[in-house]
Amino acid sequence: MSSPRAAYVAALVIVLSLAINGCGFRPLYGRTSADSEGYPVESRLAAVQIEPIADRLGQYVHNYLRDGMNPMGQPKQPVYFLSVQVVETNPGGLSRRDLGASRLNVQLRAYFALRDAEYNVLLNDTAKAVTGFDVFRDPLNDISAKEDAEKRTAELLAQMITARVAAYFSIASAPQPQSP
C-alpha cells in the first residue's frame, strides 16, 4: 500500500521535472548552445583573437584563455579582440608561532575588454581569483609551491573570463563570425 504522502511526493517530483524542462535553461557550451540569434557560442569564441598579455603570469592566462576559447589556434580572420591586463597582489596569509608552515595567497585581478573588428568595446569587466600555498621555509619547495599556485590562479582567472565572454555571446546581438 502506498501512503498519501508518497503519492504527493511523486506528484511533486513529476510537476517539478516538467517545470524545469520548460523553463528555458540551455547549456552554455555544446551543440545545443546558441546565442539569441541562433548561432553557436563556440563559433563566436573561436573568432576571438586574444591579444598578448604582459609578464609571465600574463602568458599563463593567455595560454589558458586560448585553450578555452579557441583550442584550434588563434583565428586567421578574427571578428573579436580580447585585451587583458593582469595585476598580481600577494595579500597576507597565516603564520604560526612555532615556525611551522604558514600560508600565503596569490591573488590575480584581470581587467579585460572584448572589442569588435572596429574596436568598439562590447564588454568591459574585471575578474579576480585567489589561491593559497603553504610556506615551509624550504627555498626549493616554497618556490615550487608559489609557481604552482600562480598557475592555478591563472587557470581559474582564464576560466572566469572565458565564461563571462561566453555568457555575453549567449545573450548579446554581437557581429556574426563568417563561415569558413
What pLDDT does residue 169 have?
Answer: 86
What is the mean pLDDT of each successive set of 10 residues along the chain, which is 180 residues long? 70 68 55 52 89 94 93 89 91 59 85 94 94 83 89 95 91 57
What pLDDT does residue 107 have?
Answer: 92
CA-CA distance, 119 to 163, in Å (whole number)?
A: 21
**4-171: CATH class:** alpha beta
What pLDDT does residue 35 have?
Answer: 46
Under a CB-based contact definition with an 8 Å cutoff, are residues 153 and 61 in contact?
Answer: no
What pLDDT does residue 32 have?
Answer: 47
What pLDDT does residue 18 have?
Answer: 61
What pLDDT does residue 135 have?
Answer: 82
CA-CA distance, 88 to 67, in Å (whole number)?
A: 22
